[in-house]
Amino acid sequence: MNELGNKIAGKRKSLGMTQSDFADKLSVTRQTVSRWEAGTVMPDIDKIADIATVLGVSCDYLLKDEIADETAAAAPVKGVSRLLQSARGKRVKLAFFDGEADIDLYDSVCTVVDFEGNWMKVEAEQKKGRVEKLIPVSSVRSVEFVKEDA
């Protein structure tokens, strides 16, 4: 198992959930959960927030090997975070640092849904439907607020 798999399996078991119970809560198969826990497959980044919610832990706890205590508070976000905090619930266009661009969010208007530690959850309406993404705050270079249509 890898560290993420160990954390998922350990917390799931401590909550008394079977792999099937956990899979049902996440709308995935039991085999998918088994592969995550064995470390043969990593969960999609979009699933990490859902996994954290079901397990009652932070995304930072799941994703950072150096955080071993599930009760440890996520480190506060700095820099651009003050601006981003004011963007919660608002429509924005995000610009990313070179090499950090998210293809699904490139030149898209999205809504900032929430923050957890150093991560932000955004939603964007695309041709293929609604896209929900979990992105690192550190990848955001700038935020442009989009005026609501009157």
Q: What is the pTM of this model?
A: 0.54
Phi, psi (deg, nearest 5) at residue 132 = -115, 125
Domain with CATH 1.10.260.40 in the chain: 3-63
Tokens representing 82? 């003050």
The answer to whether the CB of 12 falls within 8 A of the CB of 24 is no
Residues of the chain with CATH 2.30.30: 81-145
- Residue holding tokens 């249509």? 149
Tokens of residue 90, six digits: 């608002």
Q: What is the pLDDT of residues 64-118, one digit of tens each?
A: 877 777 665 444 444 456 667 778 888 988 888 877 777 778 778 899 888 877 7
Structure token pair of residue 88: 């919660």
Rounded Cα distance, 24 and 120, in Å: 25
Looking at domain 81-145, its CATH architecture is: Roll (2.30)
**Architecture of the domain spanning 3-63:** Orthogonal Bundle (1.10)
DSSP string, 61-114: HHH-TT---TTSPPPPP-TTHHHHHTTBTSEEEEEE-TT---TTTTT-EEEEEE
Q: For 7-23, what is each residue's pLDDT tens digit?
A: 999 999 999 999 999 99
List, for residues 31-64, the tens digit of each pLDDT value: 999 999 998 988 987 788 889 888 988 888 888 8
